[in-house]
A and B are shown apart, each in its own frame.
Chain A
Amino acid sequence: MLAFIVRRLIQSVLVMLAVALVGFALFTYVGDPINNMVGQDTSIEDRERLREDLGLNDPFPVQFFRFVVNAAQADFGISYRHGRPVEDLLVERAPATLELSFAAGLFALFVGVPMGIYTALNRRSWLSKVFLTVSLIGVSLPTFLIGILLILVFSVWLGWLPSFGRGETVQFGWWSTGFLTWDGLTALIMPAITLGLFQMTLIMRLVRAEMLEVLRTDYIKFARARGLSARAVNFGHALKNTLVPVITITGLQLGSVIAFAIITETVFQWPGMGLLFIQAIEFVDIPVMAAYLVLVAFLFVLINLIVDLLYFAVDPRLRVGGGGGQGL
């Protein structure tokens, strides 16, 4: 187990280095940072001096090494546009994105899993067919369209929910939360649904497919033959076996929820990291872009690691030192 974690950590470091290389390449090859800093009337000598002072004439590996060392200390430089350290901007924006992703993830999980179980157990019911058809729409409609439709219906026509922003937030140290005010919660509903809808339909279809697969296995047939109640068979034996692959996909999807929050945040003008990133692209704010890239990669690596560890908790076959049985 320990050896496994160490191995995964080494792999994670390698992935992060590769991403850092891409992030660093942005600085080096997209435009000239000196041009972004100085005025048009700066002389060529001054530019060269600045270049030398900033270490931009150093060989590539030296510059990359410097970038990695700084990035490891969460130092991504100063935003061109905001004139403030990038890490401060990210820390300020992170709670909004994380809360939105968390709410979207909960929505996807707590609606998707029961719907998947229902459609697997009642394959022929009309409600299952409705769920499946609707889920097809959820998968095929683009996120921004769903967001705009929701705004049209619930904000413009019905006037029930706010169409943009986070509403009122409460500050806890550096963390600002929208969970504690009514205004913040109502503002969260539509963005969370928009962001989570695709994941929800994905989870539903995944749970359904896995559950149907598990229900066909011999041990489920044997559990029935032992006269266990339908509840014990479906929810005790089948569901637990279904959840093993669902955990992986859900975990990995959590990473993409955070990454794809960009579009939802743009539609709802949600003041999170995604909106920051979109604005950074518009202004070629490379430090912000690079930092966001590295941060998203870091989240993916972290989530992957957690998912792998969760496997150990669920599946006894993976726990080491369980005696000399035959592996499956």
Chain B
Amino acid sequence: MSDPLLSVRDLRVDFPTRRGVLTAVDGVSFDIHPGEILGVVGESGAGKSQTGAAVIGLLEPPGRIAAGDIHLEGQRIDRLSQEQLRKVRGRKIGAVFQDPLTSLNPLYTIGRQLTETIRTHLPLSEAEARDRAVQVLGEVGIPSPADRLDAYPHQFSGGMRQRVVIALALCVNPRLIIADEPTTALDVSIQAQITALLKRLCREHGTAVMLITHDMGVIAETADRVAVLYGGRLAEVGPVDDVVNRPLHPYTEGLMACIPTTHERPPRLAQIEGSMPSLTAMPPGCAFHPRCPHAFDRCAAERPPLFDHPPSAAACWLWAPEGARATERAAS
């Protein structure tokens, strides 16, 4: 396989607070290859968005990267100065946020916001930047883009605004787009359109996507590989087909069982008992063990590393290589 475009190793994001340090992301590692769509799933508070923010260097203070490293195209980007990082943002990594209604500055025309972004990163004249803006707006499916260039954000509907946001993220052809819940705030009918648009554009431009969402449906439709986060830690990562159909980690298994299907209607929707522990009260050992149906002694005592089980990998003692499991059996 080719060298990864983005490589995150043992990333830890801390939030120092008055009542101690909260670790929002704890030892997360993953790779994204050029042109690949990696889905990142998890419940609210699982650390999905913080992982995305850390990659793009936009953690809200007092949040900070406490450990680990992030490489983009072989260049380490987590130690860059704000000014150097600014040149990476937008140019190499684009971003799409959750709420298209608030992502655009209400006081400027979308044309201005586009040309401003284009001219920040590319040596183009105002007229050339406008041409490019029209072209990008056309690509994201805004009808008669040349006429809409001087419209203000409030003159667009929610779905159209998210298209504009995608145009803004893509206008200088970044290598990677971080899409943080890009469809959550939209109507269901529009969600599918936006997801399809994002997928098509990234295929055409060879752009990789880190798709952060809590919606397994979106992941199953769009992603090539999936990373499942739980309590700020990576639970499982692997090709989408394997993770959805043959989950390794009991949490992923529970998550998949929760997705209702239309052909068989259970009297009650399936759910995972209990709730995700808060960051202030992480249990020792595996973060999932209090809710895990397969938990045994070791789960409460020791935190599982990521065990390779090609094509996936899971952080669960159930998938420890034979040697490790044998010692476990002997101990119990």
Q: Which A residues are closer than 8 A to B by beta carbons?
A: 217-219, 221-230, 232, 236-237, 240-241, 244, 314-317, 322-328
Contacts and interface: CB of A to CB of B under 8 A. Distances in A.
A117 B317 CA distance: 54
Given A218-B102, A227-B87, A314 B107 contact: yes
A323 B148 CA distance: 11
Contacts of A327: 154
Contacts of A237: 105, 108
A211 to B, nearest CB: 14
A236 to B, nearest CB: 8
6 contacts: A218-B99, A219-B102, A225-B90, A225-B97, A228-B116, A230-B82
A228 B107 contact: no
B151 interface: yes
Nearest to A316: B152
B117 A219 contact: no
B326 interface: no
Interface in B210-241: none
A218 B116 contact: no
Contacts of B152: 316-317, 322, 325
A241 B105 contact: yes
Contact of B97 (A221, A230, A244): A221
B65 interface: no
Nearest to B117: A226
Interface of B: 56, 58, 82, 86-91, 94-95, 97, 99, 101-109, 116-117, 120-121, 151-152, 154-158, 165, 168-169
Nearest to B82: A230
B105 to A, nearest CB: 5
Given A226-B89, A226-B168, A219 B105 contact: yes
B107 A227 contact: no
A318 to B, nearest CB: 10
A322 B148 CA distance: 12
Given A228-B117, A229-B86, A325 B157 contact: yes
B103 A227 contact: no
Contacts, number: 96
B106 A227 contact: no
B89 A222 contact: no
A227 B88 contact: yes
B165 A222 contact: yes
A227 B104 CA distance: 14
A222 B107 contact: no
A316 B154 contact: yes
B154 A227 contact: no
A232 B121 CA distance: 13
B67 to A, nearest CB: 24
B17 to A, nearest CB: 17
Given A221-B58, A221-B97, A226-B169, 20 more contacts: A217-B102, A218-B97, A218-B99, A218-B103, A222-B95, A224-B86, A225-B94, A226-B95, A226-B120, A227-B87, A227-B90, A227-B117, A228-B90, A236-B116, A315-B107, A317-B106, A323-B155, A325-B152, A326-B154, A328-B106
B58 A224 contact: yes
Contacts of B91: 227
Contact of A229 (B101, B108, B120, B158): B120
B124 to A, nearest CB: 15
B95 A240 contact: no
A326 B108 CA distance: 16
Nearest to A219: B105
Contacts of B89: 224-227
A224 B120 CA distance: 12
A225 B182 CA distance: 15
Contacts of A224: 58, 86, 89
B97 A222 contact: yes
A222 B86 contact: no
Contacts of A241: 105-107
Contacts of A218: 97, 99, 102-103
A315 B56 CA distance: 31
Contacts of A315: 106-107
Contacts of B101: 328
A227 to B, nearest CB: 3
A219 B116 CA distance: 14
A326 B159 CA distance: 12
B155 to A, nearest CB: 4
Given A219-B105, A241-B106, A328-B106, A227 B116 contact: no
Nearest to A221: B58
A128 B117 CA distance: 31
